[in-house]
């Protein structure tokens, strides 16, 4: 007898990631434990009839509550010393709810879910309900809908506060150095032409001591130990060299990039910070605990450190582990160390989850605290549908019932330029890659994933002509009538993921590691529907 026809569904699955970047071997277990817990609890919900949206919300909320992730509690602080988070949830129909730069909310993903639910209900006078709210408007919506609004400093963890203080010291030192260099250039130009009028009328010598002009209030000079929201002094304001003064910060100081160099001492012994064992195909595999590329798992306490790349979120120490985000530009020094010289984690911000429920529906979600020292009000990819999160719904007339969901992590501004999530979802959905002359050719999903990272992202003209590194990690799930299939790829040094199906007793975790230098590592996993067989009984056996 032929197997029973399957319309999709039956197998439930959950997939989570904890960000792309570099995870030290010493802290590998800590990151995978966060993924493991999120996958396990979400699967419990799915096994009890929960929807895919319920599952991704639960998984992300658990990761937001984990201090090691840059989402919710413990997130990176803005340049003003506050927590502002982004989150998105997308259901199987492609409908979404999102929040951007929202503060005082413990679980931004729950607020995004609340917005999604509200967007499906009609408003009076034919008004259109919103699916994205930002800033104070999002906080007000949360309060009006029964979500607790916390005090401003409730979400600030001690490690995040310490990172912010150290980053601020770095920025002050860089600002002073920039003023000195600008002054030197001005003096050289004046020496070459003593009659020229200076092009830098507002520059004051960094070593010059002056009283503030009468038009400037004395409280503009702010001690470095003051509140994060203290007033900042503009570049043109007279300052005393070495004073504990908070400076105004220009956006061109590489705050939003991964090129911000450590200002204290050069690292001459790390000319090539990329030398990991290559694992071009990191398929998730079963283990009693957590499975990495080499199986070495140890834990370490979370301590504040001085970051080398402000783009990355999580900061925990490790020893004897090389660091640095992979870049298309080889031989770039890339290292994160604490004050003891230990090389530590260097992880991009966004966490994500994709779920398929027993009804055959798919959903995706992302959440992030954003890059460290970001401009207040900056909205990152985790709040933007098609950039950080995307879902292609199944066509009702498609006999294969194909649907695809993607979540991304990496350099948010580049992902916005390339519409990374929606582009990858389209490539996986159609199993295509971009060819010469704008044509497309049919390939496998693995080849489509690799081509998307190489051509659609790294070789994009807007990315190639940017001073920021092109870092990305993508997790994609394709659901058909035959099963559920995971595909992932990243050009960063590592990518932490976990998955679990309703037929498994425990999650399967992996720390995928690339070979560095912008090389792409890929992997995946397949959950195929079991074929029901009808047992034939001999006559009279009943």
Write the pLDDT tens digit of every residue in 393-447: 999 999 999 999 999 999 999 999 999 999 999 999 999 999 988 899 999 999 9
Residue 65, classed as helix, strand or coil, is: helix
Tell me what the pLDDT averaged over the chain comes to: 78
pLDDT in tens, 197-216: 545 555 444 434 344 444 43
* Per-residue pLDDT tens digits for 93-151: 999 999 999 999 999 999 999 999 999 999 999 999 999 999 999 999 999 999 999 99
Give the CA distances from residue 125 to residues 76, 129, 510, in Å, rounded to whole numbers and listed in that order.
41, 11, 51
Question: With 70 as the cut, is the pLDDT of residue 326 above it?
Answer: no
CA 108 to chain centre: 14
Question: Between these two residues, 115 and 347, which has the higher pLDDT value?
Answer: 115
Q: φ and ψ at 170, to 5 degrees? A: -60, -45
469 or 531: which carries more pLDDT confidence? 469
pLDDT band at 10 (very low <50, low <70, confident <90, very high): confident
Residue 386: pLDDT band by 50, 70, 90 thresholds? very high
Check if the beta carbon of residue 160 is closer than 8 Å to that of residue 168.
no
> What confidence tier does 26 reach under pLDDT thresholds 50, 70, 90?
confident
pLDDT of residue 357: 98
pLDDT of residue 25: 85
The whole-number pLDDT of residue 507 equals 98
Please say if the pLDDT value at position 318 is more than 60: no
The residue-averaged pLDDT of 23-32 equals 87
- Per-residue pLDDT for 525 more than 80? yes
189 pLDDT band, cuts 50/70/90, is confident
pLDDT at 24: 80
Give 272's pLDDT tier (boundaries 50, 70, 90): very low
350 classed as catalytic: yes
Which tens digit of pLDDT belongs to each residue from 252-262?
433 333 333 33
Of 348, 350, 406, 480, which residue is the catalytic one?
A: 350
β partners of residue 17: 352, 497
Tell me, what's the pLDDT at 196?
57
Task: Give the model's pLDDT for residue 531.
Answer: 61
Q: How confident is the model at residue 244 (pLDDT cuts 50, 70, 90)?
A: very low
Mean pLDDT throughout 274-278? 34
Q: Which of 136, 35, 87, 111 is nearest to 382 (CA)?
A: 87
Q: Does pLDDT of 482 surpass 70? A: yes
DSSP letter for each residue of 404-466: EEEEEEE-HHHHHHHTHHHHHHHHHHHTEEE-GGG-EEE--HHHHHHHIIIIIIIT-HHHHTS
Is residue 391 within a helix (H) or strand (E), and if so which, with residue range? strand 389-392
Kindly state the average pLDDT of the residues 323-334.
Answer: 34
* 227-244: average pLDDT: 38
Question: How distant is the alpha carbon of residue 454 from its chain centre?
Answer: 19
What is the pLDDT averaged over residues 521-536?
Answer: 75
pLDDT tens for 487-508 read 999 999 999 999 999 999 999 9
Rounded distance between C-alpha atoms, residue 503 and residue 244, angstroms: 59
């Amino acid at each position: 007898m032929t197997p029973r026809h399957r319309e999709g569904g039956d197998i439930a699955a959950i997939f989570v990631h904890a960000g792309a970047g570099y995870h030290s071997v010493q802290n590998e277990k800590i990151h995978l434990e966060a993924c493991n817990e999120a996958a396990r609890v979400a699967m419990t919900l799915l096994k009890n009839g929960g929807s895919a949206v319920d599952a991704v919300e639960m998984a992300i909320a658990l990761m937001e509550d984990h201090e090691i992730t840059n989402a919710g509690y413990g997130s990176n602080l803005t340049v003003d010393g506050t927590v502002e988070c982004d989150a998105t949830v997308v259901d199987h129909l492609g409908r979404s709810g999102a929040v951007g730069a929202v503060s005082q909310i413990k679980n931004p993903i729950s607020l995004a879910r609340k917005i999604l639910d509200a967007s499906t209900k009609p408003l009076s006078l034919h008004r259109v309900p919103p699916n994205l709210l930002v800033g104070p408007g999002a906080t007000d919506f949360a309060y009006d809908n029964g979500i607790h609004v916390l005090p401003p400093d409730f979400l600030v963890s001690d490690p995040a506060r310490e990172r912010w203080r150290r980053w601020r010291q770095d920025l002050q030192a860089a600002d002073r150095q920039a003023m000195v260099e600008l002054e030197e250039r001005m003096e050289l130009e004046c020496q070459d032409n003593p009659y020229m009028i200076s092009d830098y009328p507002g520059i004051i010598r960094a070593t010059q001591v002056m009283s503030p002009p009468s038009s400037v209030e004395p409280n503009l000079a702010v001690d470095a130990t003051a509140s994060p929201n203290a007033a900042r002094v503009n570049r043109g304001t007279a300052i005393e060299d070495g004073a504990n003064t908070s400076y105004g910060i220009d956006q061109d100081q590489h705050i939003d990039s991964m090129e911000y160099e450590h200002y204290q001492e050069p690292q001459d012994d790390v000319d090539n910070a990329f030398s990991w064992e290559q694992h071009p195909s990191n398929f998730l595999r079963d283990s009693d605990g957590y499975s990495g590329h080499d199986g070495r798992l140890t834990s370490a306490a979370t301590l504040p450190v001085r970051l080398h790349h402000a783009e990355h979120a999580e900061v925990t120490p490790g020893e004897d582990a090389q660091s640095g985000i992979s870049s298309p530009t080889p031989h770039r020094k890339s290292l994160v160390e604490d004050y003891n010289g230990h090389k530590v984690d260097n992880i991009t911000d966004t966490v994500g989850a994709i779920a398929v429920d027993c009804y055959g529906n798919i959903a995706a979600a992302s959440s992030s605290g954003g890059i460290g020292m970001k401009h207040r009000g900056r909205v990152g990819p985790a709040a933007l549908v098609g950039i950080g999160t995307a879902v292609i719904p199944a066509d009702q007339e498609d006999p294969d019932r194909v649907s695809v969901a993607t979540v991304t992590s990496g350099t948010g501004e580049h992902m916005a330029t390339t519409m990374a999530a929606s582009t990858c979802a389209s490539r996986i959905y159609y199993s295509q890659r971009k060819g010469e002359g704008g044509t497309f050719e049919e390939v496998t999903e693995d080849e489509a994933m690799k081509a998307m990272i190489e051509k659609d992202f790294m070789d994009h003209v807007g990315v190639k002509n940017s001073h920021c590194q092109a870092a990305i990690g993508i997790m994609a799930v394709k659901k058909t009538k035959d099963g559920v299939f995971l595909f992932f790829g990243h050009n960063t040094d590592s990518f932490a993921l976990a998955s679990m199906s309703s037929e498994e007793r425990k999650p399967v975790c992996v720390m995928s590691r690339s070979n560095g230098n912008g090389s792409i590592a890929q992997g995946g996993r397949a959950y195929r529907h079991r074929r029901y067989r009808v047992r034939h009984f001999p006559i009279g056996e009943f």
